[in-house]
Copies of this chain bind each other. A is one copy, B any other.
Amino acid sequence: MGTVEWVETVERLIRSTQELLWERGYVGTSPKAIQAAAEAGQGSMYHHFAGKAELARAAIERSGAELTEAAEQELAGPGTATERIVRYLRRDREVLRGCRMGRLTADPDVMADPALRAPVAEAFGRIRARLADIIAEGKRDGEFPAGLDPVATAAAVAAVLQGGYVLARAAGEDDPFELAVQGLVHLLEGVSA
């Protein structure tokens, strides 16, 4: 097998594991299912990864990188702090599938393994820090009141997104997610100058 095929196989293994973890959780993601979804043989999978745990870690790291990259697309754009945060909250999302990273926090196997939890913690840490920076910018520009705590407000923004997914999945429809985002946006606009 040439280098290109190797890279492509590793790529398919990681992508398939990302999807399976999202859909079925760690315990429901068998090496056989990964191999079938990736169209890779057992030997090929174990040639590239020591086992399911190592592959899961690579998949979770990839999901974390994609999550922060997608957030950055909205947050780095033009506009006031509120506009950028609203754009981030309102970008198209597959609401009923939930957040790839957020759902892992309910997965007992992922939470019990420090190596699997670390990339989840890092991804949310990065997004909260980025949101806090933007809110601090908004304070400096006089957009937000001096008393607003950037770190706490950033945590509320990230929590509304993650909780919005939970409420939407419970209801079986997008509506509660949209409502929660709308409620937070109105509060943010309400305290803005």
Interface positions of A (Cβ within 8 A of B): 23-25, 27-28, 98, 101-108, 111, 117, 120-121, 123-125, 128, 145, 147-149, 151-167, 169-172, 176-177, 179-184, 186-188, 190-191
Contacts and interface: CB of A to CB of B under 8 A. Distances in A.
Contacts of A102: 106, 163, 166, 170
27 contacts: A24-B108, A28-B108, A105-B106, A120-B170, A121-B172, A124-B167, A124-B170, A125-B171, A145-B190, A148-B186, A149-B182, A152-B180, A153-B186, A156-B179, A158-B163, A158-B176, A158-B180, A159-B167, A159-B176, A159-B180, A159-B184, A162-B162, A162-B166, A163-B166, A187-B187, A187-B190, A190-B190
Copies in the complex: 2
Q: Chain A binding site: helix, strand, loop or mixed by DSSP? A: helix
